[in-house]
Amino acid sequence: NAGVTQTPKFQVLKTGQSMTLQCAQDMNHNSMYWYRQDPGMGLRLIYYSASEGTTDKGEVPNGYNVSRLNKREFSLRLESAAPSQTSVYFCASNSGQAPRNEQFFGPGTRLTVL
Amino acid sequence: QKEVEQDPGPLSVPEGAIVSLNCTYSNSAFQYFMWYRQYSRKGPELLMYTYSSGNKEDGRFTAQVDKSSKYISLFIRDSQPSDSATYLCAMSANFGNEKLTFGTGTRLTIIP
């Protein structure tokens, strides 16, 4: 099992460019999440998908779009990147099964917008 | 005011010391409480998980929840250099496919 995988690991964009961050999980989990992590701000939820075919906004959705392509894959798109979107992005998944309500995280994508 | 407050540190202690990490929260609906550990340039991993009030022990780690005070703690006994990481508290109101609310994280360094 690879768990949660993310591509790319690093990316540098210019303001106004677009890109898609890819995430896949092989644990047959229903829920998937996109977070951003900034110094002093902790993990903030951008979007989540409780099940295949559904997506909902989190705390900081502006400037992002998501697609739950199938049960395994959940992508995050930046249509027109801004310097404020410089951050580390984490994807996570959750089975929602007892005994632990555990979210499994990917290794992260470090994005710099110039 | 944030729903979950956590002292960001950084916190440095000598090897073998007892470490206490804390979070306070304002949402009385939270029932599920977690501590995640995040090593540098890695994703967070679940360390401890508790439901409602009380204590839970796992090896050198003890998680405490005091719902009346809206206060949770993580204690690390006999701290080791390998415990050096950022520790994030997280909590949710319901079980299952639920959003978590995270604290900002405390960066901990154990000095050999």
Tens digit of each residue's pLDDT (9 = 90 or more) over B28-65: 999 999 999 999 999 999 999 988 888 999 999 999 99
Q: Averaged over A1-12, what is the pLDDT?
A: 93
Cβ neighbours around B40 below 10 Å, total? 8
Question: Which chain B residues are within 8 Å of A100, Cβ to Cβ?
Answer: 46, 49
Is B102's CB within 8 Å of A43's CB?
yes
pLDDT at B97 over 80: no
Residue A65, pLDDT score: 97
Residue B35, pLDDT score: 96
Burial B47-76 (b: 16+ CB within 10 A, else e): bbbbeeeeeeeeeebbbbbeeeebebbbbb
- Provide the token pair at B70: 């809206």
- Nearest Cα of chain A lies from the Cα of B51 at a distance, in angstroms, of 10
Least CA distance to B4: which residue of chain A?
Answer: A42
Q: Averaged over A67-91, what is the pLDDT?
A: 96
